[in-house]
Amino acid sequence: METLGLIGGMSWHSTATYYRIINEVVASARGGHASAKIALQSLDFEEVRQCQLRDDWDAAAALLTEAGQRCVGGGATTVAICTNLMHKVAPAVEAGIDVPLLHIGDAVAAEAARNGWGTLGILGTRWVMEEDFYAERLARQGVGAVVPDAADREAADTIVFDELTRGIVRDPSRTRYVDIIRRLGDQGADAVVLACTEVGLLVGPADSPLPLVDSADVHARALGLLALGSSQGVEGT
């Protein structure tokens, strides 16, 4: 079984989700006391958040690259960044390690392809929605993207950082997200990707007027399969 390297802590709430799902996949496949081999580097999110607020992405890339190298030093044969936003620095992390990095966008695109969804609404932090690093990764796999308007982008970003990354889940925020999802459907989205790994803590399929792709869930499941020796359902590099 392969050893997975997880760059987590951004935030620890979603990293716990990754750890649980990966081990559920492995335990289900192998039975008994089986669990995944994981080299985890859990960063101090406050340090990463300060880099984000300063727009110091070089410093953020250095933090994640060093964490990735420590994962490899711990035996990891594949590394993953357990957050959507910090895939903004994925190229730097990939360049700094000598093992593959399993990109969250590829897992999301594979899920869209399995379900025949050609256009995804992107719902996450403002960088993920407003910049092209995420939508371009989906486009490589033939998946189009639409994003909320400016007011909805601001609301979504505020809820992530003021609430979800601090473990706060509020009903009014769920209602606001559901309204945003409905408007993404009006813009042509077949489904919506929860493109922040904490959003699945707030909104689930039972809440949503559109099908959802929980990025943390599909990424973690892809990693679980990879630990078992399969890359089924994940395209790209």
Determine the angle formed by the axes of helices 45-54 and 57-73, rounding to 10 degrees. Answer: 150
Work out the average pLDDT over 160-176: 96
Known catalytic residue at 125: no
What is this structure's pTM?
Answer: 0.93
pLDDT, one tens digit per residue, over 3-41 is 999 999 999 999 999 999 999 999 999 999 999 999 999
Round the average pLDDT of the chain to a whole number and report it: 95
Query: pLDDT class for 108, splitting at 50, 70, 90?
Result: very high
Check 51, 71, 82, 196 and give the catalytic one: 196
Known catalytic residue at 51: no
| Segment (H or E) for 164 | none
The residue type found at 34 is A
Alpha carbon of 214 to those of 14, 49, 62, 74: distances in Å?
Answer: 11, 22, 27, 28
Q: What stretch(es) of the chain map to CATH 3.40.50.1860?
A: 3-104+217-227, 105-215
Domain 105-215 sits in CATH at 3.40.50.1860
Check 15, 17, 83, 125 and give the catalytic one: 83
Domain 3-104+217-227 sits in CATH at 3.40.50.1860
pLDDT, one tens digit per residue, over 76-99 is 999 999 999 999 999 999 999 999
pLDDT of residue 230: 77
Query: pLDDT class for 231, splitting at 50, 70, 90?
Result: low
SS3 82: coil
Work out the average pLDDT over 153-167: 96
SS3 194: strand
User: Do the strands 191-195 and 119-124 form a parallel or antiparallel pair, or are they unpaired?
Assistant: parallel
Give yes or no for residue 115 having a pLDDT over 80: yes
